[in-house]
Structure formats: C-alpha cells, structure tokens
Amino acid sequence: MTQFKIAVLLPCYNESLTIEKVIRDFKEVLPEATIYVYDNNSTDGTAELASKAGVVVRKEYKQGKGNVIRSMFRDIDADCYIMADGDDTYPAEHAREMAEIILQGKADMVIGDRLSSTYFTENKRPFHNIGNKLVKSLINLLFKNSIQDIMTGYRAFSYNFVKTFPILSEGFEIETEMTIFALDKNLSIENVVISYRDRPDGSESKLNTYSDGIKVLKTIGRLFKNYKPFYFFGLISFLLVAFGLALFIPVFIEYLSTGLVERFPTLIMSGFLIIAAVISFFSGIILDVIIHSQKQQFETNLTTIQKISNMSKKLERLGKNESDY
C-alpha cells in the first residue's frame, strides 16, 4: 500500500499525558502514513511534545473539535484518512484494517465500533453509555439504518468523503453529522469492531455529558429537518391535524345536536390548526423536491472531484517518471 497516501489525523486539546504514546503506536502500525496533530489551544505542552515526536503539528485557534476537523479536511490531501483522538482510547492496531477497506474502494467511511466490544465495561461514565445508546437508536430509527456506533471518534475516510463533506458543527456533534451525511448521500459505510480503553488516570474527557449531549440531539433534529423535510414537516402536519380535529369534533357534535355553535374561539382555533397543517405539508413537499435536486448536484460534484483526483494522480506519476531520467 506504499503507493497510496495515508494521513493520520489527531485533533488534540490538552493531551500531553498520552499524545506521545498515540503517535508511537500509529507510527508502528502505519509507518508509511503522515501523522498530523492539530492542536486546539492546548496549554499543557501537547503541541511541543507532538513536534518532538516527529509529526506534522498545526494550530487551530477556533475552539471546538468540529472546527479542528474542518481545517484538517480542507488542508490535507490523501487517499485515505484515519481519524482518532489523542487520548489513547482508540488502539492504533485497528488502523491498518480500516485503511485497507478504504484503499480497496469498499467504503467511503469506516466506523470504529466501540459499542460492540469493550466500551460499556471500560467507560466509567454511565450517562455517556446511556447517551450513546439513545443517539444510536434515534438515528437508526429516523434514517432507517443499523449502524452500531454513531459517536465514535475512530474513523477512516476516502478522499471523496473528505472533500464533499460540509462541516457545520463546531464541537463534539461532528461525529453525528458525519454519520447522517453518509447515510443521506448513500455513501458506503463499513463497520470494524475495535477494542476500547478508558482514559488513563489523570486524563480528563473534554466531552460534557449534558451540554454536549443536548447539542448532539439538536444536531440530529436539525439534520433530520434538513435531509428529510417531507417526513419532518409531514409529522408536524399530522400533529396539527390531530389537535385541530380534537378541537373541532366536539364543536361539530354540539352543532349536530343543537344547531348552534357556541364555542366560536375553539372553532376558529381548530381552523387555524388545519390551515397550518396544510401549509406544513406542502412546505415538506416543496423542500423535498429541493433536497432531491441537491442530491443530484452532489452526485455531479462527486464525479467532478473524482476526475480531479484521478488527474492529479496521473500528473504526479508523470512527474515521478520524468525525474527518473
């Protein structure tokens, strides 16, 4: 696989306790890869330790994991990208298997599945376990899939995925956004069960169970609305119709019995709810047509990016051949 470019991406914020070991492990497993450490305003010397370990170190001053990954994806060109954390919770020995799946063209994204192995026994934060189960169940329900680990930070990506993925999230909800994007755009996803180990003593998680959990749930709702507007607004329309009828039916029964309508405010409110339901329903239809058009445009853009990538590889090979003479 030496003819391929492999990039190992390590977003870091105050990981001085573990970053050197993580770098050593990935160098051993993928000696041909270029390792990039993007330091996100660390104050404990993480960047200096990574630089001494002989990897490419860059700074991202805008705080948040999503912001770091946005810079990584924009800056780096490679055939395969391996993304992990700098906290030594994801064993590097799985990286070769994940890279081979990408480089053989079997998938656009490989998910390092923690939840099917040691996560629930290693992780000492019970609310994180509950949150992972909730997010997994919710996304698989809304997007009709069976992905085993939605929020894992250990993934491999193809060039096409990295260069077409529009990153909107700024924080830890980025993994959820990646998963939903791949599902919506019909990109191929593979699952690799990985072992997971909890952070060593003295290393603290940057993920806040409650505030970041709420952000993830809000991201799921936002992306469900954006990617599946017909179902989203159709559900709202159904609820509005149900409430409207619940108000209208007693008034109508009363009218049939007495010939009078005594609760005009209730009747008017039910009428407004039904009108709102109709507007919501047709809004969903219109937005669904727009989303379908965007998917067509995405496929065109994907083809263009693939052609550019192939042309770049050909030029690179020609340059190498000329340098041999």
Does pTM top 0.85 for this prediction? no
CA distance 59 to 279: 48
Closest CA to 80 of 114, 104, 54, 56: 104
Q: How many C-beta atoms lie closer than 10 Å to residue 99's C-beta?
A: 24
β-pair type (155-158, 80-83): antiparallel
Say what the pLDDT of residue 1 is. 41
Q: Cα–Cα distance between 214 and 135 in angstroms, integer?
A: 11
- Give the per-residue pLDDT at 213: 76
H/E stretch holding 217 reads helix 211-227
Give the Cβ contact number of residue 179 at 10 Å: 27
Residues 6+ apart with CB under 8 A from 230: 284, 285, 287, 288
Q: Which pLDDT value is given to residue 54?
A: 94
pLDDT in tens, the chain (325 residues): 447 899 999 999 999 999 999 999 999 999 999 999 999 999 999 999 999 999 999 999 999 999 999 999 999 999 999 999 999 999 999 999 999 999 999 999 999 999 888 776 666 566 566 777 888 889 989 888 889 899 899 999 999 999 999 998 888 889 999 999 999 999 999 999 998 877 666 666 666 666 767 888 888 898 899 999 999 999 999 999 999 999 999 999 998 888 888 888 999 999 999 999 999 999 999 999 999 998 888 888 888 888 887 787 777 777 666 555 5
Are 177 and 169 in contact by the 8 Å Cβ rule? The answer is yes
* Residues 162, 81 contacting (CB under 8 angstroms): yes
Provide the residue type at 2 as one letter.
T
Q: What angle do CA 74, 77, 79 make, to 5 degrees?
A: 130
pLDDT at 322: 56
Residue 5 and residue 129: Cα distance in Å, rounded? 35
CA distance 7 to 192: 19
